[in-house]
Each structure stands twice: as structure tokens, then as C-alpha cells.
A and B are shown apart, each in its own frame.
Chain A
């Protein structure tokens, strides 16, 4: 999964805060600065687990504080290459 796929899912699952450009360079911007609280991250990880048929650890939401960290958890489970930036 790349950043663009993740931000698309975030947009669909939890909307976008006014004044946040999800298409910008947000890979290392903390989720709370992007306007996403832990429930928003929980919602998007739940959808990813379901639709990608993976299981993320219970600590993922607490530990994955940026898009880069979340993508690392996801891609590890997907058995994919480490994070590539948005296409």
C-alpha cells in the first residue's frame, strides 16, 4: 500500500479536516496534526484489515502515529516492500 492509497482510505472513512491537504507531503505528519484522532485511525485500520484480509496488532493504533508508521505496519502484514512514497 502506498501513501496515496492510504490517504484515499482516510478520506473515505474519516473525512478531511478543513485546512489539511492530504495530497501534500504528509508521510511523516502525525495523525493528530492531520486532524485524525485515535478513533479515526481505528476506523481506517478496521476497514483495511477487512478489505485487505490482514490482521494488525492491537497496538497498531497507539504506535502508528504517522502515515509512514501505519503503512509500515500494513505492508509488513501484506508481505510487501517497505513504504514507497506516493506515486
Chain B
């Protein structure tokens, strides 16, 4: 029986992409900006950050909620949920699938999250403390909740099949997609997946600052410099990508346009703090390539996690060198144009990987002119043309989560 299940759904393919990113609202706007090296990192505008040690952010430009979100949902949704709903609508429409035409309960939603609707939650908690319980919205009951994007996407698109939410910080954008694939292997036909995240508000800022990895550099062009000698931490951003993942046979049967396959995936944990030993990132990448039955030499580009913290950059550079050899593979970090998007980051990198395959081009890492001495990386600092058949996406979540996904052309 297990064999039947595996042969029936051995392949999961991506058929839809929706993006809300700091350097572009909508897939094509974001992709154009990304290939042109246009950054969305600017001084924080969603709140007055002048009293905080980190004053830059990647904010989605030109997003007028009322233009994208039905009025019934406006009082009930945090900003990041509105971004997620906007990306999900774009992804579903892009896929050409009509969930209503699928067998009942065969389409679901699995997204990644980190904090839920922090901005909404902060406002309602301030109302509670400042004015009293009668001033707290009834919608606070779920608007702040980390599973809210999955629920709202499910309701809006009538996706009544399996659903879930993954919380593994920055690794979540890959882990959610892998969970979506598990649901396809169990018999679902289509899962809306990925991650859109954001907590650019005083509460979210305080929580992220406590992590100690945000840069205090104020020049947007010098703030987030992964793999550079001047790496000083990261800039936080909002947004991400929602993707439609389908059973390959189901996608073929309805004549869907396919961006690429999810050919391999693995997750590992780092050794417990103080234990020593090699971090788990290399092993995650190896396991993902093994599952895809591909040798490292088959990889055309790596989308790096790119922490921007020297020790973490060193670990990632070491893992890449161990796997591919010195300067053995093109490495890029388009997230230098968006900041780190928590649960949205790796899904956006998956979207970039799929479009790299489509357009035969690797998007650049910006602001980093060359990797620091000692990192033997072929860092792509200007868009690089050439066929891309296989991409490896890496992501690390705070707390020891590692995830790797292999995306390949579908032929």
C-alpha cells in the first residue's frame, strides 16, 4: 500500500506563485526588481522606530489593504494576514486551478508562521490595558494567532482539505512546503503553501531585537551584508510567497503550467547548545540532494540562508565548501534586497528559484561586493544569465532548525 501511495504521488510540482515582497508587490513586479538588484530596505515607516537600535526594515511598497482585501475581512485581519491573502489569491489565480472543481477535501492549506499578527495583537492589548476589555476587538480571538493565515486562506478559497501551520522560524518557508508534499502523498491533489510573515511594530521589534541578530547600521546599502567582512546582523522585513503545490499527475491532467518540481527536501537539527560538533546545515543539503537522486555537481545555484552574522555566515560558507568544493557553485542571497522575512523568507527564495529555472537567470546578491576573505564562495553579485535546471534553497531557523529543498525543471 505504501508503494502504491509513493508511486502515485512521487512527484510534487509547483503550479502557482504569489508574492508580496519589500521590493515588489506581485510576482512580476518583485521579480523584475530582484533581477535589477533593486532593494526594498528603507527606514521603518510602519511605526516610529527612532528610539530603537534598529531603524531599517523591508516593507511591502504601495499596499493599500482596501484594494486587495474584502471589507468583511479588514476589521478581522493583521497587516501580515492581508499580505498573505493577497499573495494567496495571486498564487491560486496563477495556477489556473479552481478549487471548487476538485474533489471535496482534496485541496488544503499549509503555511509557515512565526509570531502571528503581532501588530494587531499589540493594538488590542494596548486597548485592554489602556481602556478596558470592552475596547478589545472580538477578532483578536484569532487575528493574532500564528495559524491565522492558513485559516483565512482556507476560508477564502474554499480549501477544505488537510491544513496545518509550521513554526520553525526562518526554516518554516521550506518546512511548510514539505508538509504540503506529505499531504499530496497521502492523496490530496493541491495544497496552497509557503509563508508570508511580518511584525514591523514595537512589540515585534522588541521581540526580534532580543534575539541579538538585528543590525544597528543605518545606511540601507550597508546594513545587511551576509558573507561580507562588515556583516553586522540582518534587517527584518515583511512579506513572502504563497505557492501552489500539486500532485504532478493531477496537474498534468488539468493541463497546468508547471514551474518546476520539488525534487528533494530534508530537515535537520543543530547539535544541542554546548555540545559542539558540526551544525546540521550541510547534512540537510546532502539529504535533500540524496532524495532528489542528484549529485552536488548537478546544482546550478544555491539560494543561501545568508544570516549576515559572521559566525553563522562562516558555518554556511563551510557547509557549501564541504559539499561543492571551493567556489564550486554559484551562491546568491536576493534576500539582501528584502531583509529577512522570518517564515516568509525561504518561500520567497523558492519562488525565486522557480523563476530562475523559467527565465534562465540567477538573481543577484546586492550591496556585498565580495565575500570576506576566507569564504571560498562564488557569490553572484550581478544577475547571471545561463540555464538553471536545479536549484538548492537553504534556510536556518533560530533554535537549531535547518531545512534544504531542491527544485528542478519539470522535464
Contact = CB atoms under 8 A, between A and B. Distances in A.
Secondary structure of the A side of the interface?
Answer: helix
A30 interface: no
A43 B138 contact: yes
B205 interface: no
Contact of A50 (B70, B73, B76, B135): B135
B72 interface: yes
A24 B211 CA distance: 54
A18 interface: yes
Interface of B: 70-76, 134-135, 137-139, 141
Given A39-B139, A39-B141, A13 B75 contact: yes
Contacts of B138: 39, 42-43, 46
Contacts of A42: 138
17 contacts: A11-B71, A13-B75, A14-B72, A14-B75, A15-B70, A15-B71, A15-B75, A16-B72, A17-B70, A39-B138, A42-B138, A43-B75, A43-B137, A43-B139, A46-B134, A49-B134, A50-B134
Nearest to B73: A15
A16 B351 CA distance: 34
Q: How large is the interface on A (under 10, 10 to 19, 20 to 34, 35 or more residues)?
A: 10 to 19
Contacts of B73: 15
Interface of A: 11, 13-18, 35, 39-40, 42-43, 46, 49-50
A40 B138 CA distance: 8
B124 to A, nearest CB: 12
| Shortest 5 CB-CB contacts between residues of A and residues of B | A15-B71, A43-B138, A15-B72, A50-B134, A42-B138
A37 to B, nearest CB: 9
A14 B137 CA distance: 10
B137 to A, nearest CB: 6
Contacts of A43: 75, 137-139
A11 B72 CA distance: 8
